[in-house]
Amino acid sequence: MTAPRKALVLGGSGYLGSAVVRLLRARGLDVWHTYRTREKPALALAAETGSTAMALDLTDLEALRKGLERASKGAPLDVLVHAAGTFAEADVATLTPTLYESAMDVAVRAPLFAAQWLARSLPAESTRRIDLVIAGALDRAQSLPLPACFAAAEGAKGALVMALAKELGHRNVRVNAVSVGLLEGGASEALSGALSRDFAAFSALGRRGTADEVARVIAFLALDSDFLTGKTIPVNGGL
Ligand SMILES: NC(=O)c1ccc[n+]([C@@H]2O[C@H](COP(=O)([O-])OP(=O)(O)OC[C@H]3O[C@@H](n4cnc5c(N)ncnc54)[C@H](OP(=O)(O)O)[C@@H]3O)[C@@H](O)[C@H]2O)c1
């Protein structure tokens, strides 16, 4: 009997991350997921789905390394989903270096160093498939009214997946992103009601999306597609 494939979902306590955890568990994967502040919902999700929750602050690279080691114990990771993010609401005038650093650390530095850890842990001769999927907010095709710091962190993800995919593709590592439109929960709750209504009205489908709708695309990228890497797939209802 082959062991179930193993996944780690960074930000599994979030609105999107928890939908990804549920779907990957439903697809039979052994799933680990992280939380930073929302311990109770994370443990409840683990009890509900049979996944494993662990505390991890993604601004701490040493904690990230330890978390990756812990989740890989016994069997290596096949899938890494990054669904963690912070919505720094500050406009340009009020933005502080601390806010900027923490947004960039979570959105860009964490997936980059997680990818480095995964690549380093692959034996040279390995042909084992690994998939990295990063959830973000922008595919650079739109100019949206978002805080500059958030936009910079989210926009960097597209370039990151292109470079990682090129560098790691020959080792059978696929790296993709989804650029998520406005959803019914999670990060969107930080937006004003008026802006949220504008986004929904502006989208082709005229509504906000759900975490399940995005999770299905993430699962497709991680589990079902083969010849697709280095791309950012917009899942935004047609923005
Ligand atoms: N929801 C939307 O409408 C929407 C739209 C566009 C893009 N997105 C993108 O989708 C991704 C997930 O968003 P979401 O809606 O699921 O947001 P969410 O419900 O607010 O979840 C955010 C997740 O990130 C984790 N997190 C935040 N800071 C962290 C840190 N320093 N270390 C470790 N984990 C940290 C949170 O952990 P704790 O809660 O445990 O602290 C939580 O698991 C983000 O990249 C977001 O930008 C979402």
pLDDT tens digits for range 181-220: 999 999 888 887 888 888 888 899 999 999 999 999 999 9
Is the pTM higher than 0.85? yes
Q: Which atom of ligand 1 is nearest to the CA of 11?
A: 43
Q: Does 215 sit in the ligand 1 pocket, CB within 6 Å? A: no
pLDDT tens digits, 41-81: 999 999 999 999 999 999 999 999 999 999 999 999 999 99
Tokens (6 digits) for 40: 């109770």
Under a CB-based contact definition with an 8 Å cutoff, are residues 49 and 21 in contact? yes
- Going from N- to C-terminal start, the domains of the chain cover 6-234
Split at pLDDT 50, 70, 90, the class of 3 is low
Tokens (6 digits) for 231: 């791309």
| 226 DSSP 8-state letter | S
Sheet with 79-82, strands from edge to edge, namely 52-55, 30-35, 6-10, 79-82, 130-136, 173-180, 232-235
pLDDT, residue 147, reads 87
Q: Which atom of ligand 1 is nearest to the CA of 41?
A: 40
Q: How many Å lie between the centroid of ligand 1 and the Cα of residue 29? A: 22
pLDDT tens digits, 104-150: 999 999 999 999 999 999 998 888 999 999 999 977 676 777 889 98
Strand partners, 55: 35
Identity of the amino acid at 175: V
Q: How many Å lie between the centroid of ligand 1 and the Cα of residue 16? A: 7
Q: How many Å lie between the centroid of ligand 1 and the Cα of residue 87? A: 8
CA gap 23, 52 in Å, rounded: 14
Cα-Cα end-to-end distance for the chain: 45
CA gap 70, 48 in Å, rounded: 21
Under a CB-based contact definition with an 8 Å cutoff, are residues 33 and 48 in contact? no
- CATH class for the domain made up of 6-234: alpha beta
CA gap 134, 212 in Å, rounded: 16
CA gap 124, 60 in Å, rounded: 28
Q: How many Å lie between the centroid of ligand 1 and the Cα of residue 59? A: 13
Residue with tokens 């040279």: 124
pLDDT, residue 161, reads 98
Tally the C-alpha atoms within 13 A of residue 166's C-alpha that lie toward its C-beta. Answer: 5
Identity of the amino acid at 211: A
Query: Cα 24 to the chain's mean position, in Å?
Result: 14
CA gap 140, 224 in Å, rounded: 25
The 3-state DSSP class for residue 229 equals coil
Q: How many Å lie between the centroid of ligand 1 and the Cα of residue 171? A: 29
B/e letters for 215-235, b = 16+ CB within 10 Å, e = fewer, are: bbbbbebbbeeeeebbbbbbb
Q: Does 142 sit in the ligand 1 pocket, CB within 6 Å? A: no
Residue with tokens 């042909």: 127
